[in-house]
Structure 1
């Protein structure tokens, strides 16, 4: 064996040892995160399914196995279906509202000629950084019928003859909560769109301008086709965020008035930890069944959205190949 071959063999042995050692240390450093994930994510998920088969208040040793009894009771529970419907309002109405408005604002702020663009981005993003509970408490004062700023402005301009009960009227409360939640999280969706807009090559805009396209034409024929795959991802993320409205609703209305803002998270919380007005005890087992049911519905919606995203991506690839063959 020559000196060169011997040196290469030593390098291979040293390199293999280094890679094995590095891999082992990577697993060692990942171990704490894996343990915490198992303790605070996977274990509660598994135990939720176990508790969903029990009749249990959560704070005693009196636990009775009922099998699918809690799920059968859910199917006939009007309060459960009403709460699920309100959560779907947040998804089906709040998602397109926030995604659409955020896209319009992002396209405007992405223009190079737009002055104070950074200042406006910061202004829109500030509510995202604030605590949802604080936002909820502040908005109860802002929307108050007793000298609240919004009602004062409506009365001063003559748009309302009497104070508007934004949070006390069962017909208005859910929509008010939806708008406040949309405003609070608007900035993060706008940032998603701004990040997606950065992927559009500047050369495409220049070529379109040479062809005589105006600003509207650039948006329609250059920006939107490229943003389509990102749009599906942003819709999924926004829909997921719209299902997490517990903190802001709890701070503003606590699910009232007359349960008109009780979404699924509020329903599960009340059932699990709060005794009802009739003197009933908390029902952690029944709440676990509601949580498992809601989680399954959410998972199915996510799978459908991912399937649609995959189909759209495949269609785009086919169109790209067709254009290439035509060229």
Structure 2
């Protein structure tokens, strides 16, 4: 027992040193979290109650005036509606098509499956800002690749103003956003499909179930948890889009593709674009209030998704 106590006595400092090293390795991540997540979040709530231009310390307390102004600004609701349209379109397009492609690429009869997977995932690793700049050139009215190709094929006689007309610009932005986020959702579906036990499909096939019946009665129910997660991730991708829109259309034409993150950015970093005054000062308090307003809307969507998942699990008895 004496030896055990001695070993324990010698071990205690070693355990403390080991715990200390754990905190040393965690420290960089903790500092990054505090500096780039926790502090900006707390500061945004604080600044939202002031009329502050970023110079000095905020001292002009306005209470809820910034929130009232955001809620009464038609331009905010225009950008909010555009964000919902963009997000909804991406969910409708990407979630089912990526599932279909995952089912195809999961089939053993498809040759070159790995090459197809790599090709479809490549857009995901591209920087959104670079994609936006390239797509702006590709869909340009004069000299754009798309117009040149369509004119060469005889499909059109005059150039199409893809990014200069509101509905067309929104359609192009949605198409590019879907192309950009398609690959990663397909990978998620592939991961989900590969969790489906092959024994269930084989047993159902022996019992005479058709391919469609096996998919509807076995694959789909087992993929429902993945459906909720993928849909939620796609909603987040749509709601927080910024750099793609900034470099591709900058919210134009006439704010037809304006999104809430871009709206917030203008008030915080491009005040001259809002007031048409080259010497206008930023409105960090107002931008913070708009960000909080939008964040709360995103939180409501997340809670709704969580409730939907709980409802489905209750019905499924899981």
The 5 A counterparts of 1:173-188 are 173-188=169-184
Cα distance in 1 between the residues matched to 2:234 and 2:13: 46
Aligned: 1:199 with 2:184:
no
Q: Deviations over 1:69-110 (max 9, x none)?
A: 101111210011111111111222211211111111111111
* Other-structure match for 2:276: 278
Cα distance in 2 between the residues matched to 1:38 and 1:110: 42
Give how far 1:269 is off: 0.4
Cα distance in 1 between the residues matched to 2:121 and 2:10: 50
Cα distance in 2 between the residues matched to 1:79 and 1:175: 20
Aligned: 1:93 with 2:89:
yes
Cα distance in 1 between the residues matched to 2:7 and 2:219: 51
Cα distance in 1 between the residues matched to 2:306 and 2:101: 26
Contact 2:52 2:60 in 1 (8 A): yes
Cα distance in 2 between the residues matched to 1:85 and 1:288: 19
Cα distance in 2 between the residues matched to 1:19 and 1:237: 40
The 5 A counterparts of 1:75-90 are 75-90=71-86
The 5 A counterparts of 1:1-327 are 22-59=18-55, 63-274=59-270, 275-276=272-273, 277-279=275-277, 280-317=280-317
Cα distance in 1 between the residues matched to 2:210 and 2:9: 62
Deviates more, 1:149-158 or 1:136-145: 149-158
Give the alignment's TM-score, normalised by structure 2.
0.91
Cα distance in 1 between the residues matched to 2:266 and 2:191: 39
Give how far 1:13 is off: 7.2
Structure 1 unaligned regions, length at least 5: 319-327
Cα distance in 1 between the residues matched to 2:227 and 2:60: 47
Contact 1:94 1:182 in 2 (8 A): yes
Q: Deviations over 1:40-60 (max 9, x none)?
A: 110110000111111112245
Structure 2 unaligned regions, length at least 5: none
Cα distance in 1 between the residues matched to 2:308 and 2:58: 46
Cα distance in 1 between the residues matched to 2:20 and 2:40: 29
Contact 1:229 1:312 in 2 (8 A): no
Give how far 1:15 is off: 7.5
User: How large is the RMSD of aligned CA atoms in angstroms?
Assistant: 2.2
Contact 1:271 1:284 in 2 (8 A): yes
Give the alignment's TM-score, normalised by structure 1.
0.89
Contact 1:99 1:189 in 2 (8 A): yes
Deviates more, 1:305-314 or 1:259-268: 305-314
Size of the aligned set, in residue pairs, is 314
Cα distance in 2 between the residues matched to 1:18 and 1:60: 48
Q: Deviations over 1:17-74 (max 9, x none)?
A: 7666544432332222112211111011000011111111224567411110101111
Cα distance in 2 between the residues matched to 1:303 and 1:99: 20
Give how far 1:256 is off: 1.1
